[in-house]
Structure 1
Amino acid sequence: MLKELKENYGHLFEDELLQEINNVGTFKEVHQGDELIRIGQYIKSMPLLLHGAIKILREDEEGFELLLYYLERGETCAMTLSCCTGDAKSSIRAIAERDSTLIMVPVEKLDEWASKYASWRSFIFGSYHNRLNEIMDTVDNIAFKKMDQRLLHYLKEKSKFDGNHIIQSTHQDIAYDLHTSRVVVSRLLKQLEKEKMIKLKRNSIELINI
């Protein structure tokens, strides 16, 4: 586990901190689609992502979900941090977008390391800053962009995030992420295909000219 920690966080943390994380952290493997955090759950540990990708979602009172942002290797979740430090219930869901490996750090270590290691403080503040910017982008997309623009933005970001011009998602998956209906997503995707911007395949979408 220490080797993987150094590969992912060695550029951020000193060896002493990496060793502490290795000593107290719990290694965890999850499969695509697994739920890591559910709404209403008390958070007792903070995730550090080693490999894979995690999707962070918000849910309304009727159970509809909205994609907030993704976590990639070398990152943590600011929403989780706020629950950890405030002993509050989680207001988000975390779902494995791909098979992933994480190290779960006990919540009591967050404050201890913040006073002991400047690198840890910088990492935490940087995580808050990055996640806030991503949430603001999500709010802007919902408030100011039409659904076709939101869909284009979603496809671009997911392609960039996956590092692949072929997106492995169903129309229903996209509808869940964008908080809309599958019918709307299918209609807009077909229009994009007519405009030769994408090519629709079974359970996947190939980006051609986006």
Structure 2
Amino acid sequence: MYKELKEAYGFLFEDELLQEIAGSGSLRRARAGEKIIEIGSYVKSIPLLISGAIKILREDKNGDELLLYFIERGDTCAMTLACCLGDTKSEIRAVAETDTVFVMIPIEKMEEWVAKYKSWRNFVFESYHSRLSEMLDTIDTIAFMNMDERLMRYLQDRAKINGDPAIQSTHQQIAYDLHTSRVVISRLLKKLEMQGKISLQRNQILVKDL
């Protein structure tokens, strides 16, 4: 585990901290689409991503989801940090966007390292800042962008995160992420295809405009 941590976090953390993470954390793997954290569960550890990507979703009172942001290699989830520190139930759902490898860090170690390592403390604060900026950006897209613009941005983000312009996803799943209906998504995908920005293929969407 140390080697993988060194490659993903060596630019952030000193060797002593990396050794502690390797000794205290547990290595986990999740397949694309697998739930990692569920809404309403108590969070006793936080994920540090080694590879892959995780999408963070919020759910409304009707059970409809809204995509908040993605976390990638070298990241963690600020909302998970908040739940750990506050000993509260999770208000988000974390789902593997791609096949993902990550290390789960126990809450007691997270608190210990905040006091012990400046690099960890800076990492926690920067994670809060980055995720807050991404959530504000999400709010801006909802408030100020048309749905076709939101859809195009969503497709571009997923293509970049996956490192592949071909996105494997159903129209219904995209509708869930963007908190709209499948009919709307299907219509807008056809519109984007006519504009030459994407190509609709069998069981996938090819993003041309990156």
TM-score range (shorter-chain normalised) is over 0.9
Deviation at 1:99, TM superposition (A): 1.1
1:34 corresponds in structure 2 to: 34
Deviation at 1:135, TM superposition (A): 0.3
**Which shows bigger deviation, 151-160 or 121-130?**
151-160
1:135 corresponds in structure 2 to: 135
Deviation at 1:209, TM superposition (A): 3.6
Query: After the TM superposition, which segments of 4 or more aligned residues of structure 1 sit over 6 Å from their partners?
Result: none
Deviation at 1:98, TM superposition (A): 1.1
Query: Conserved in 2, the CA contact under 8 Å of 1:52 and 1:72?
Result: yes
TM-score by length of 1: 0.97
Distance 2:166 2:153 in 1: 15
Paired residue type of 1:202? R
1:100 corresponds in structure 2 to: 100
Query: Conserved in 2, the CA contact under 8 Å of 1:171 and 1:203?
Result: no
Q: Deviations along 1:51-91, whole A, 9 cap, x unmatched? A: 11111000011110000011111110000000000001000
2:91 corresponds in structure 1 to: 91
Task: Within 5 Å, give how 1:139-178 maps onto structure 2.
Answer: 139-178=139-178
Q: Deviations along 1:120-153, whole A, 9 cap, x unmatched? A: 0111111111100100011011111111111111
Query: Conserved in 2, the CA contact under 8 Å of 1:38 and 1:90?
Result: yes
Percent of matched pairs sharing the same residue? 60
Distance 1:4 1:208 in 2: 33
Please list every run of 5 or more consecutive structure 2 residues that lacks an aligned counterpart in the other structure.
none
1:20 corresponds in structure 2 to: 20
Distance 1:15 1:204 in 2: 42
Q: CA RMSD in A?
A: 1.0
2:81 corresponds in structure 1 to: 81
The SS at the match of 1:193 is helix
Residues 1:109 and 2:112 aligned together:
no
Query: Conserved in 2, the CA contact under 8 Å of 1:39 and 1:89?
Result: yes
2:53 corresponds in structure 1 to: 53
Paired residue type of 2:30? V
2:63 corresponds in structure 1 to: 63
The aligned length equals: 210
The SS at the match of 1:8 is helix
